[in-house]
Structure 1
Amino acid sequence: METLFVIIMIILFFLLMAFVFSAALLTPLIGKKNFLFVIALGFVVGVIGGAFFIAPVYDDLPDMARAVYMSTSNQQETITLNISTDSDVNKAIEDVRNIPGVQSVESGEITVKTTGIGNAWKSSLESRITTANTNITSGKVISGDTMMVQLKPGSDPTQVIKQLKSWMVLISGIDIKYSIVQVKLVVDASKVDEVVKQLPQGEVVVTEINGPVEKEIQSLKNTLPGKNNIILFCGFLGVLVGLVGMFIDTITRGIRGIRDRLRQKGD
């Protein structure tokens, strides 16, 4: 959310509070009905203002905090990407590597979707998969049609998948439908947003961002009260503003009296 828009929303909320205060000033201090009217007016206007002006800002508070943390942090974040092997994985990785702010790029895991893997083949594939390509360090069958394949750093995922596909068909008749390479980027925290914007559109998908900044944001989210509580708080704030408007004369006289007594003590 743009800073100007946030400022406008907050100003509009304060204008609503000013309306409640003005309405309370114009209400004669006689009768129970006027008192209840001010309370009801303050609560309703406060809730409306909270729902329409404060809640949207509150929803974007973690993102605004993230922007502040990122702009001031000199630490690093890890961005996890998924790249389909149907595309040119090597070119996509090279394009990502050349984005300013990217410190390193590493591919280390491939999710492989296959035709059905029977129980008889599960242990055999897991124990023999490293023979399909020297860059494969391990493999695990996690469901009847899915394998997770771990690679050595710096491996060529496209070449690995080609050899793995041929090997699996040859020894078991199991074919690979498609596969997705997981790529991890180490990025300067202050450059995360810029890097994400420059990622090749349609070729990569951001699945996760981890690091010190994200931990700070998660801690902030855990400490923030619920949005409904904020809206209710705005309603009670409206009631408080209305009551202050109704009893402003009494409050002012009280403050003057305290100030006069303090002056007399000082003399």
Structure 2
Amino acid sequence: METIAVILMVVLFLVLMVFVFSTALLTPIIGKKNLIFVVLMGFIVGIIGGAFFISPIMDDIPNIASAFYQSTSTDLDTIYLDIPDSVDVNQFINTVKDIDGVKGVNVTGITIKTSGFSDYWKNTLPDRIPASNTNITSVQIQGNDTLNIQIQNGSNAKDTIKSLDDWLMLIAGISSSYSAVHVTVQADPSKTDQVRDQLSQTVVVTSIEGPTQDKINSLKAILPNQSNVVILCGFIGMFVGLAGVFIDSILGIFENIKGKVVKK
């Protein structure tokens, strides 16, 4: 939903509240039945307005806030990617660097799926693999068939995978069935959405982090769900109706307070 549409929906809800207030003003001398009518009318109109005008825009509030945060933030967002072995990593990285809004690209690690290996290799590979390749800084093993590898920044991921595949087969008879390179892309916040959409056409975007995303997640955490919003709008309509009924008394109270303040 566009921002203009959101504003229009809010305006329409306010028009309904003006209707409730005006109707309450027309109630002459309040009796018990008239007061109950005003309360019920305000609640029902508020529920209707909440259901049709306010509730639908709740899902769009994070998007609107995101556009605002992105246009005002100077900190970079970080986009996390998984690049499969079917993609030429070096060529892909060079292509990403030319995307408008990209400020930097780094290879952070590699995941290699292998044939199963024994507990002996599970215990020894974390020490032997870094010693066999200077590009590799550490190795974590999941189960008995998955290697999570951290490599030095600037290392050639494709060459590292090829070298490690050959080494595993030669030393331990372990074959590799699949590999994925983990890449981070630093993006201008105002361009993050466009960069993400372009990247997701060829690789998997696993997550996005940064100050802008943190603010959006915090906003989502405090936003009420749509059912609660509809009920809240009903109570707002009820209070608006009561305000219309007792507007003279309310204004009188404010006048008395104002008079006391002026005298002091």
TM-score range, shorter chain: 0.7 to 0.9
Please name the residue that 1:75 is paired with: 75
- State yes or no: 1:211 paired with 2:210: yes
Q: Output one character per residue of 1:173-220: Cα deviation in whole Å (capped at 9) or x when no partner.
A: 33222122111112222322232233261x222222222223333444
Shift of 1:23: 4.0
With normalisation by structure 2, the TM-score equals: 0.84
Distance 1:115 1:254, change over 3 A: same
Match of 2:45 in 1: 45
Q: The residue matched to 1:117 in structure 2 has which SS?
A: coil
Give, in angstroms, the shift of residue 125 of structure 1.
1.6
| Residue type at the aligned position of 1:154 | G
Q: Which residue of 2 aligns with 1:254?
A: 252
Given that 1:77 and 1:189 are in contact with CA atoms closer than 8 Å, whether structure 2 keeps it comes out as: yes
Report SS of the residue matched to 1:60.
helix
User: TM-score by structure 1 length?
Assistant: 0.83
Asked if the contact 2:113–2:178 (Cα under 8 Å) also holds between the matched residues in 1, the reply is yes
Aligned to 2:119: 119
**C-alpha distance 20-88 of structure 1, shift in aligned 2 (>3 A):** same
Residues 29, 246 of structure 1: 8 Å contact kept: no
Gaps of 5+ in 1: none
Q: Output aligned runs, 1:221-236, within 5 Å.
A: 221-222=220-221, 224-227=222-225, 228-236=227-235
Q: Is the 8 A contact 1:81 1:205 kept in 2?
A: yes
Worse-matched range after superposition: 226-235 or 39-48: 226-235
Contact 1:96 1:102 in 2 (8 A): yes
Find the residue that maps to 1:113 and give its secondary structure.
strand
Q: Is the 8 A contact 1:113 1:146 kept in 2?
A: yes
Helix, strand or coil at the partner of 2:87: coil
> What's the secondary structure of 2:86's corresponding residue?
coil
How far does residue 242 in structure 1 lie from its aligned partner after superposition? 1.5
Aligned residues: 260
**Does the CA-based 8 Å contact 2:137-2:151 persist in structure 1?**
yes
* Structure 1 CA distance for aligned equivalents of residues 61 and 42 of structure 2: 25
**Secondary structure at the residue paired with 2:41?**
helix
| 1:109 partner amino acid | G
Measure, in 1, the Cα distance between the counterparts of 2:102 and 2:251.
Answer: 63
Q: Please give the per-residue CA displacement for 1:102-127, whole angstroms capped at 9, x wherever unaligned.
A: 12110021122223233222012212
* Change beyond 3 A, Cα 1:30–1:71: closer
For residues 124-170 of structure 1, the C-alpha deviation after alignment (integer angstroms, 9 at most, x for no partner) is: 22121125543222211022332201111122222222222222233
Q: Which residue of 1 aligns with 2:88?
A: 88
Q: CA deviation at 1:89?
A: 1.8
- Residue in 2 aligned with 1:197? 197
Taking the aligned partners of 1:143 and 1:29, their CA distance within structure 2 comes to 78
Give the aligned partner of residue 141 of structure 1. Answer: 141
Conserved? CA contact 1:92–1:200, under 8 Å: no
Whole-Å separation in 2 of the counterparts to 1:39 and 1:221: 32
SS at 2:116 equivalent: coil
Q: Tell me the CA shift for residue 253 of structure 1.
A: 7.2
Question: How far apart, CA to CA, are the structure 1 residues paired with 2:174 and 2:252?
Answer: 86
60-69 or 97-106, which moves further after superposition? Answer: 60-69
Give yes or no for contact 2:199–2:205 (8 Å, CA) kept in 1: no
Paired residue type of 1:241: V
Structure 1 residue 221 displacement after superposition: 4.0
Which consecutive unaligned segments of at least 5 residues does structure 2 have?
Answer: none
Instruction: Work out the percentage of aligned pairs sharing the same amino acid.
Output: 48
The farther-off stretch of 125-134 and 19-28 is: 19-28
Distance 1:25 1:106 in 2: 65
Q: Give the counterpart letter for 1:258 in structure 2.
A: E
Deviation at 1:96, TM superposition (A): 0.8
Deviations 1:6-58 (A, max 9, x none): 11211221233233334434555454233223212222322332233223323
Q: Distance in 2 between matches of 1:71 and 1:52?
A: 30
Which residue identity lines up with residue 144 of structure 2 in the other structure?
G
